[in-house]
A and B are shown apart, each in its own frame.
Chain A
Amino acid sequence: MALEFSFSFPLPLGLHARPAGLIQEKAEHFQAEILWENHRDGITADAKSVLSLVGSDTQYNDPCRIRIHGPAEKEALQALRSLVLDELPIKEAEAEKFILAAPKELPRILNLEHAVFFLGTPAGPGVARGRALIHDPVLEVDSEGPETECSPEKEKTAFLMAVQSLDTELRSRQEENRGKIERAVIQAHLSILRDRAFAAKVIEIITVERRSAFAAVALASRLFSEMLKASRSQYLRERMADIRDVSRQLIARISGVPAQETDIKLREPAILVDEDLPPSRFLSLDRNLLQGLILENAGVTSHTLIMCRARGIPAVTGCPGVLQKLQSGEDIILDGGRGLVIPAPSPAVGRYFEREMGAEKQRNALRREKAMLPGETADGREVEIAANISDPEELQAAWNNGAEAVGLFRTELLLMERQASPDEEEQYALYSRLAREGGNRPIIIRTFDIGGDKPVPFLPLPPENNPFLGFRGIRIYEQYPDLIRTQLRALVRAAAGGPLKIMFPMVSTLEEIRGMKELLQKIFEELAAGSVPYRANVEIGMMVEVPSATLLIDRFSENVDFFSVGSNDLLQYFLAADRGNPSVRHLNQPFHPAFLRLLKSVVDESHARGKWIGLCGEIAGSARMLPLLVGLGFDELSMNYSSIPEIKSNLRTLASAECRRLAETAVKLSLGREVEALLDSFRGIAVKEELITRQLIRLHSDSRSKAEALQELAIMMEAAARVDSRADIESALWQREDTFSTGIGFRVAIPHCQTSAVGSAAIAFLRFDAPMDWSSSDGKPVDMAVMLAIPASGHSRDHLKLLARLSRRLVHEEFREQLRTAGDEEAILHLIAAAIAE
């Protein structure tokens, strides 16, 4: 009997090498034959081959089916189903968040200075200036090597030895590299290297066509590259680079050329210019010396460029012919956000971009600073913003993104791909590391949440017809007492070193929680008897994900210290709709008023019992849901850490009373789409911004030209967090200058604009050390600039009136003289305040 399940493919970028690698890995665990059928193009792939999977050209929402035939069919089906529908979408969302913002306008300084520049595709934001290092590419893979008389046996051995040697090297490289993305890229290369379709093809060419190993690898590489080239997805086409990269390294080994000889050596800081840069070469570079990267034709989502962005290295790609246009050793500027390459910049161009570099640094610092602000509404209601993680490697990234706690640490990963359960010491070491690196921030560790849908090799859980309603989470602990005892011992011991909390999954009855409390009591006694340090008052919590638990919050409150709503499971259990099933997916929606009522009763009930309650499902990271979740009263929201900066900064603009009213209205509605409409019309913004602040005043500007002055104003607006991107307001100011100069005479300029870049009206003030030309109507140089900016829509009439008054005052000589002679920023603030007062 064969088993199968149908689904529509959930990844927006299609089935590319990374997810294909994960599917292949999972499939390898099972002996059964596993086929991946894409019903759109009719291609059937072997799920145990990455290249075959990738070759199925599976795109977003393609109708697909997995068919399994052989031993342990059910387990294999469950494992693949949860991988494809649940795990992959989460993993992929983290992997690629880079959005290419095409520059609205190039800096005017380039025209003004008649600068030579090349425009490519933005591939890694940031500005760099340094010496060019040109690397001439050698396309090793395009040749097929010397044709010699060869014995298939010898060639086959040569190929297999090369594979083995590269495998060893990649694995050791993987250990050297701590970065998550770097390791994932090496993993993708390993999966190509170990791919059975690839190896089979090479060996077939060697034995059937009697070609050399060199030629066979080159031909197979070309064959699979062609296959990817036919793909509709840009992303997949760019995976060709990975296949070529692996093949190049294999060929280097087969032909006895040490790979290092083809590597690039950086001896001093430089901007590397290359046709394309294979990921393996990127990894072999000294990345501390790599200031930037200019590539003629690498794909924006190539692994090399993904790694570049992860490391914050500015990069530009899609610059054909740039190798011929630049010289090694030449001074160049690279603006990765705009896709600009500027050779031999003039002093003015140099100054402009040096300032951009400074502004970029300031902007990043500001972002970090903002991320570190407490999670609270504008009126000070605290909502802890926490991260969901499953790997201690992710801790630092979570803190850097502004997580105030870990709301969910999944421990299941400890059990995956293992032949035996990790022992107490291993677990203790891991949990202690979390406690230590948490730096006093609370970390909620969820005990093993495994079961039918998340099979573990060493736990012989029986196959089930309906694993989601089956033997999983806390329910298996009674049958596997050692598993949970070991974990709890390790946890309470580690909790002595930091604020770890324990949370149990899938709780549906009081007996389950009481059983765990009794077990903990016994563990405390054992540890005390053995004089082993532990924390007796460790906080105990439970997931609220089974609907029955939501109606017993009062009783559970007597047994636990906190709750966390697992909204993904609660939603599908409560609405009886599986989000992986295309036919009922539309019913699985968090806006359902019944679901909101359920959440409200859970929050109200736990607060009535003096317990705090968080939420750790996908909706915690939804900016759209945020006002509603705040209004419902959650104390904590725990999410994928990449969502934290956005959610926290949104939270800080919300008015809590407005959110509460919103939630009260929402639970009274009848339809999900009414709730959505309500959310879309919600304006609970409580932040009121001043027209001008000290940050927007500078009395000693060193700008030397109008171009620099407008840049400076834009940078000031960005630093004061009045615009998201300085480039937007800079270009809006220039557009206004284009109609006619804002140099009004009297040595004053009033650059101004109406733009969606600003959220509310603003005034900024600059006094120049050296007067500059502004093409003023009286032809005289300008020694100060007063900038006015208003939003494109929704501006308040009050603000406009104030700006009008200021403009009127500026034609009065005595006011201008006061601005020219004011001793400090405070005095300017007073002058402007007085001018715009009635």
Chain B
Amino acid sequence: MTIVAVTACPTGIAHTYMAAEQLEKTGKKLGIPVRVETQGAMGIENELSPEEIRDAAAVVLAVGIPVRKRERFEGKKVYEISPQEAIKNPQAILLKIKNDLGS
């Protein structure tokens, strides 16, 4: 099971990257592969490929502003949280997804 995520915040220089780091780091700890795309001041980085999105079990949007290219996630199971939550307690969201998927 892999999870894909997008992080974004108003200024795009701090929360975006902290949230990304937390999700990746915690995923590793929990043994859940997490692929994160950042939408910050440098634009879209580590952009998710259509295949990655197709194969993902769930999508986490840790965003404080509207996500760019949101249509890519149509039909997917999307969990939307704030970047602060992703930074503060990344474990909670990843475990919730794991629980929801029953795996």
Complex-state Cα separation, A797 to B40, whole angstroms: 11
Q: What residues of A have a CB within 8 angstroms of the CB of B87 in the complex?
A: 744-745, 777, 811
Q: How far is the CB of B27 from chain A (nearest CB, A)?
A: 13
User: From A805, which residue of chain B is reached at the shortest CB distance?
Assistant: B17
Tell whether A790 is near chain B: CB-to-CB under 8 Å. yes
The number of residues on chain B lying at the interface, defined by a beta carbon within 8 Å of a beta carbon of chain A, is 22
Residue contact A744 to B41, C-beta cutoff 8 Å: no
Given known contacts A740-B64, A811-B25, is B41 in contact with A800 (CB within 8 Å)?
yes
A778's partner among B11, B25, B88 (CB-CB below 8 A) is B88
Residues of A within 8 A of B13 (CB): 752, 754, 788, 790, 800, 803-804, 807
B88 cross-chain contacts in A, Cβ below 8 A: 744-745, 777-778
Evaluate contact between A788 and B14: CB separation under 8 angstroms.
yes
Which chain A residues in 38-64 approach chain B with CB under 8 Å?
Answer: none
A808 beta carbon closer than 8 Å to chain B: yes
Residues of B close to A810: CB separation below 8 A: 18
Question: Which of A744, A745, A788, A812 gathers most chain B CB within 10 Å?
Answer: A744
Chain A residues with CB under 8 A of B40: 800, 804
Chain B residues, Cβ within 8 Å of A744: 14-15, 18, 84, 87-88
Do A754 and B41 have beta carbons less than 8 Å apart? yes
B13, B25, B64 interface centre (most CB from chain A within 10 Å):
B13
- Chain A residues near B85 (CB-CB < 8 A): 777
Is the C-beta of A77 less than 8 angstroms from some C-beta in chain B? no
A804 to B42, CA, bound (A): 9
Whether the pair B64, A739 counts as a contact (CB closer than 8 A) is yes
Task: Write the chain B residue with the least CB distance to A803.
Answer: B13
Interface string of A250-292 (1 = CB under 8 A from B): 0000000000000000000000000000000000000000000
* Given A740-B84, A744-B87, A790-B41: A808 and B20 interface contact (C-beta under 8 Å): yes
Please, what's the 1-or-0 string for B68-103, where 1 marks a CB less than 8 Å from any CB in chain A?
000000000000001011011000000000000000
A788–B12 alpha-carbon span in the complex (Å): 11
Closest to B22 in A: A811
Residues of B within 8 A of A812 (CB): 21, 25
Tell me the nearest residue of chain A to B24, going by C-beta: A808
* B38 (CB) vs chain A CBs: closest residue: A804
Nearest to A752 among chain B residues (CB) is B14
Say if the beta carbon of A121 comes within 8 Å of chain B.
no
A residues 781-821 touching B (CB-CB < 8 Å): 788, 790, 795, 797, 800-801, 803-805, 807-812
Pick from B10, B14, B84: contact of A777, CB below 8 A. B84
**Residues of chain B with a CB closer than 8 A to A778's CB:** 88
A490 within 8 A of B: no
Task: Report the Cα distance A810→B41, complex, angstroms.
Answer: 18
Determine whether A66 belongs to the interface, using a CB cutoff of 8 Å to chain B.
no
Interface membership of A736, Cβ < 8 A: yes
**Interface range on chain A: under 10, 10 to 19, 20 to 34, or 35 or more?**
20 to 34
Q: Verify A750–B14 contact, CB threshold 8 A.
A: yes
**A742 sits at the interface (CB 8 A):** yes
Q: Does A408 contact B (CB under 8 A)?
A: no
Given contacts A740-B84, A742-B14, A777-B88, contact A808 B21 (CB under 8 A): yes
Q: Which of B18, B38, B88 has the most CB of A within 10 A?
A: B18
A753 touches B (CB below 8 Å): yes
- A808–B20 Cα gap in the complex (Å)? 8
> What residues of B have a CB within 8 angstroms of the CB of A800 in the complex?
13, 40-42
Residues in B neighbouring A790, C-beta threshold 8 A: 11, 13, 41
B87 to chain A, nearest CB (A): 5
Residues of the A chain whose Cβ atoms lie less than 8 Å from the Cβ of B64:
739-740
Expressed in whole angstroms, the Cα–Cα distance for A797 and B64 within the complex equals 22
Q: Is B11 within 8 A of A807, CB to CB?
A: no
Binary CB contact string for chain A from 719 to 736 against chain B (1 if under 8 A, 0 otherwise): 000000000000000001
Q: Closest approach, in angstroms, between the C-beta of B64 and any C-beta of chain A? A: 7
Report B-chain residues with C-beta under 8 Å of the C-beta of A739.
Answer: 10, 64
Min C-beta distance of A836 to chain B, whole Å: 12
Contact indicator B11/A804 (Cβ below 8 Å): no
Assess whether A807 is in contact with B42, with CB atoms less than 8 Å apart.
no
Q: How far is the CA of A803 from the CA of B22 in the complex (A)?
A: 16
User: B41 near A807 (CB under 8 angstroms)?
Assistant: no
In the complex, what residues of A have CB within 8 A of residue B10's CB? 736, 739
A216 to B66, CA, bound (A): 74
Counting chain A CB atoms within 10 Å of each CB, the highest count among B11, B21, B40 belongs to B11
Chain B residue at minimal CB-CB distance from A755: B11
* Contact B18–A801 (Cβ < 8 Å): no
A805 to B88, CA, bound (A): 18
- Taking CB atoms, residues of chain A closer than 8 Å to B25 are 811-812
Asked whether, in the complex, the Cβ of A808 is within 8 Å of the Cβ of B41, the reply is no
Residues on B with beta carbons closer than 8 Å to the beta carbon of A752: 11, 13-14
* Residues of chain B contacted by A777 (CB below 8 angstroms): 84-85, 87-88
Q: Are A754 and B11 in contact (CB under 8 A)?
A: yes
What is the CB-to-nearest-CB distance from B82 to chain A, in angstroms, rounded to a whole number? Answer: 8
Q: List 23 A-B contacts (CB under 8 A).
A: A736-B10, A736-B11, A740-B64, A740-B82, A742-B14, A744-B15, A744-B18, A744-B87, A754-B13, A777-B85, A777-B87, A777-B88, A778-B88, A803-B14, A804-B40, A805-B17, A807-B14, A808-B18, A808-B21, A809-B21, A810-B18, A811-B21, A811-B25
Residues of B at under 8 Å CB distance from A? Answer: 10-11, 13-18, 20-22, 25, 38, 40-42, 64, 82, 84-85, 87-88
14 new A-B contacts at CB < 8 Å, known A744-B18, A745-B88, A804-B17: A744-B84, A745-B84, A745-B87, A750-B14, A752-B14, A753-B11, A777-B88, A800-B42, A804-B13, A804-B16, A807-B17, A808-B20, A809-B21, A812-B21
The 3 closest A-B CB pairs, nearest first, are A808-B21, A807-B17, A804-B17
